[in-house]
Structure 1
């Protein structure tokens, strides 16, 4: 049992990072991992405990947690059949599972809750992802005028997924182009500018928190003021 117990934790985390390597957001990667292990949790109380603890542990590293996921994790971990769990595990495994469970339950309330139904990159995660990718291609491409095309190509899926991702990608891209004085096609800049000018903050709904909306509005005003 010990081998299965340890390998299941490892396999769950490995699957999550496989999805992350496919350039998925944190939220999308954990959602896909949870779906992939949906059938595993029904095999026994040990499997159920490990899957939900592993999911909870990953959420502890995220900037937000979807409110339904939080409710599901708390409810499941609090309702484990401990008698059956003892039957399926060694004493050391049982103790370890309870310690891991308690850590998740103790810390999960510290994660800000996401009430939006959309699985997406969250505000600061999206900004960081764009900055990281920009840094890579800025040093790689010889023709800097290709940067806009490459960034929008890399984040095409995100830009069509939600309005918040789309605007954060394009705001961050414009900020970086200005900061590094990148010479690009003026028409491309004007397209980005036009999109930001037409953006209505209220349309993002719960995709962004009120603080994130305020921060984004300040960033948009600042970047638009620098484009002549």
Structure 2
């Protein structure tokens, strides 16, 4: 039993990082992993415990947790049948599971709650991802005028996923173009500026917190004054 127990934890984390390697956001990668292991928790109490503990531990590394995911994980871990769990595991496994479960339950309340149901890059994560990619290609790209095209190609999926991702990508991109004084195609620059000018912060709904909305509004206003 011990081998299966450890292997299930390892397989769950491996599947998550496989999704991350496909350039998914933290939220999308864990959502896809949870879907992939949807039926596993019904095989036994050990499997149920491991799957929800693993999912919970991954969420502890994220900046936010979707409210429904939190409720589902907490509910599942609190409803474990400990008598069945003892039968299915060794005494060491049983003790280890309870320690891991308690750690997840203790720490999960420290993660800010996300009320938007969209699996997406979170505000600061998205900006960081754009900055990282921009830095990666800036020195490699001989024709800097194509940098807008390259960045938007890389984040095409995110820009069509949610409005918050779309606007944060383009805000971060414009900030970097100004910071590095990059000479780009004027038509592309006008298109980006026009999109930000027409953007209404209320359209993002619960995809951003009130603080994030305020911060994004200030960033866009600052950009408009510089362009």
Specify the TM-score bucket, using the shorter chain as the normaliser: over 0.9
Report the counterpart of residue 93 of structure 2 in structure 1.
Answer: 93
Q: Give me the whole-angstrom Cα distance separating, in 1, the residues matched to 2:8 and 2:139.
A: 40
Cα drift, residue 120 of structure 1: 0.7
Q: Give me the whole-angstrom Cα distance separating, in 2, the residues matched to 1:145 and 1:20.
A: 30
Report the counterpart of residue 124 of structure 1 in structure 2.
Answer: 124
Report the counterpart of residue 6 of structure 2 in structure 1.
Answer: 6
Instruction: Provide Cα deviations, 1:137-160, integer angstroms capped at 9, x if missing partner.
Output: 102111111110010001001101
Cα drift, residue 197 of structure 1: 0.1
Q: Please report the TM-score for the alignment, with normalisation by the length of structure 1.
A: 0.99
Q: Give me the whole-angstrom Cα distance separating, in 2, the residues matched to 1:140 and 1:77.
A: 48
Report the counterpart of residue 188 of structure 1 in structure 2.
Answer: 188
User: Please, which runs of 5 or more residues in structure 1 have no aligned partner?
Assistant: none
Instruction: Provide Cα deviations, 1:6-26, integer angstroms capped at 9, x if missing partner.
Output: 010000000000000000000
Q: How does 1:128-139 map to 2 (within 5 A)?
A: 128-139=128-139
Instruction: Provide Cα deviations, 1:80-108, integer angstroms capped at 9, x if missing partner.
Output: 00010011111111100000000000000
Report the counterpart of residue 203 of structure 1 in structure 2.
Answer: 203
What is the DSSP-based 3-state SS (H/G/I as helix, E as strand, rest coil) of the residue aligned with 1:142?
coil
User: Please, which runs of 5 or more residues in structure 2 have no aligned partner?
Assistant: none
Cα drift, residue 199 of structure 1: 0.1
Instruction: Provide Cα deviations, 1:44-99, integer angstroms capped at 9, x if missing partner.
Output: 00000000000000000000000000000000000000010011111111100000
Q: Give me the whole-angstrom Cα distance separating, in 2, the residues matched to 1:56 and 1:174.
A: 36
Report the counterpart of residue 42 of structure 1 in structure 2.
Answer: 42
Report the counterpart of residue 105 of structure 1 in structure 2.
Answer: 105
Q: Give me the whole-angstrom Cα distance separating, in 1, the residues matched to 2:4 and 2:182.
A: 53
Cα drift, residue 186 of structure 1: 1.0
Report the counterpart of residue 115 of structure 1 in structure 2.
Answer: 115
Cα drift, residue 224 of structure 1: 1.2
Runs of 4+ that moved beyond 3 A? none
Report the counterpart of residue 73 of structure 2 in structure 1.
Answer: 73
Aligned length: 227
Q: Give me the whole-angstrom Cα distance separating, in 1, the residues matched to 2:159 and 2:21.
A: 19
What is the DSSP-based 3-state SS (H/G/I as helix, E as strand, rest coil) of the residue aligned with 1:145?
helix
